Chains A and B, each alone.
Chain A
Amino acid sequence: MSFLEVTAQLADGFLTTLMIFGITLVGALPLGLLITLGSMSKVKPIKWVFKTFVWIIRGTPLMLQIILVFFGPGLIFGAKALPRLVAVIIAFIINYACYFSEIYRGGIESIPKGQYEAGQVLGMTKTQIFFKVVLFQVIKRIVPPMGNEIITLVKDTSLARVIAVVELVKAAETIVALKSIIWPLFYVGAFYLLFSGILSVLLNLAEKKLNYYQG
């Protein structure tokens, strides 16, 4: 199999990888904020439910969660299985939302109390204080840890192969098994490197842009 043929086949898998990555981000970023609000709730039972949920999701392997989302409904309720890609994306969104929520929470809690109080004595509402005073400072503070998670997500997408979704690694494995050549598997690394390299540059730009003020 020629280099170009391998590249074309891997590119196919890479598209799936990109899709998992993109949809997970779009879903997990806002869902994470909801989970943050829940886990910071003043109502104890709500807080407790969210915290337990985050503990379970962060405390078990993502691979297991993918398998559960795919096979669970059938095993428990006898329901028809979800399409493989949909199951993967649901598992990813939930998993990453939990990690994001903890980063958001850390960011929100790191803002000094004085910022809230300054807003209060100036007659701002709670919503105004959050959106006009606090939120931007939170975003600035969480860009580095979020960057970490986002780059991890690039590589985690390869877990989708446990339920036979043909993403990048699975595409390479297929070639390896059929053609008895091993190098396509290593070639896959170049795709990940290139993609995470582009993301790193973008994240750096974002960090620089937000660095117009200190504190």
Chain B
Amino acid sequence: MAFLEVKNIFKRFGKTEVLKGIDFSMEKGEVLAIIGSSGSGKTTLLRCLNFLESPDLGSIVLEGEELFNAEQKYSDREIREKRLHFGLVFQSFNLFPQYTVLKNVCLAPELMRIDQSEKKLSRAEKIQIRKEIEENARQILASVGLSDKLMNYPCELSGGQQQRVAIARALAMKPVILCFDEPTSALDPELTGEVLKVIRELKSSDRTMIIVTHEMGFARSAADKVIFMADGVIEEYGTPDEVFGNPKSEKTISFLEKSLENITG
């Protein structure tokens, strides 16, 4: 049984059918890149996995447990708990501008472990939890190379640094699967490298990642599996070598040719 199974996902907005039956599965520790032209439904698929959109049909199964089934109704609380399995890094970072880098990373864990705590915590316990969270945040921020920016505000950072804070913020919630929605699309070309490097370094045996990206080179070299989406369906699925080296579908071939033209000019 696969680690994550996505079954028959359909999603429409008004009259537009954005996802028309998405099926795929992935193993633990795998890095999956989703490529495709704008409007193909990549982002919507990612948003469905993170419960920002609710699919009209289909189900999502993680480690054998059904997280989502379109036939069921879920309360806000259930959705909140389920979505914690996934982390999401946005194209536009969406950092909290009024907080320092460190606070951006600590806020959500603090709210979850202290404010949403089932039992009443003593002052000493709260201080202890805050300390743990902050220690963990410092470590994560160090791992994305931002130890010297802890007390800066997001507006004082470059786009690449902001995106690395956003990655750290997502990691602090210890998601089982980390998702990236075009993490470098809002960045100047010279800044994409530092973000891609960080994502590459996150690859490890127990970290599963799904990356929606327009960086073909990155998808080819960093991903274990690649999905090419077109018009709301998975047009091609396979290893990077299969999809990039030996594409079968007409649409994939023409998409890859166009992206290659863009690179070589």
Contacts and interface: CB of A to CB of B under 8 A. Distances in A.
B96 A114 contact: no
Nearest to B91: A114
Interface in A95-120: 112, 114-115, 117-120
A96 B96 CA distance: 31
B116 to A, nearest CB: 7
A215 B96 CA distance: 10
B62 interface: no
B92 to A, nearest CB: 6
B193 interface: no
A214 B152 CA distance: 12
A124 B108 contact: yes
Interface residues of B, number: 30
A213 B115 contact: no
Given A117-B52, A125-B76, A128-B111, A213 B153 contact: yes
A125 B84 CA distance: 12
Contacts of B176: none
Interface of A is mostly: helix
Contacts of B90: 114, 117-118
A149 B83 CA distance: 42
Nearest to B110: A132
A114 to B, nearest CB: 4
Nearest to A119: B108
B116 A125 contact: yes
A140 B90 CA distance: 24
Contacts of A213: 97-98, 153-155
A148 to B, nearest CB: 23
Given A115-B94, A126-B76, A132-B111, A215 B155 contact: yes
A123 interface: yes
A142 B162 CA distance: 26
B107 A118 contact: no
B153 A123 contact: no
12 contacts: A114-B94, A117-B90, A120-B83, A121-B86, A122-B107, A128-B115, A132-B111, A136-B98, A137-B97, A212-B153, A213-B97, A214-B97
Query: What are the 3 closest A-B residue pairs judged by CB atoms, nearest first?
Result: A122-B108, A114-B94, A118-B94
Given A115-B94, A213-B153, 12 more contacts: A119-B108, A120-B52, A120-B83, A121-B83, A121-B87, A121-B170, A122-B170, A122-B173, A123-B81, A124-B111, A212-B153, A213-B155
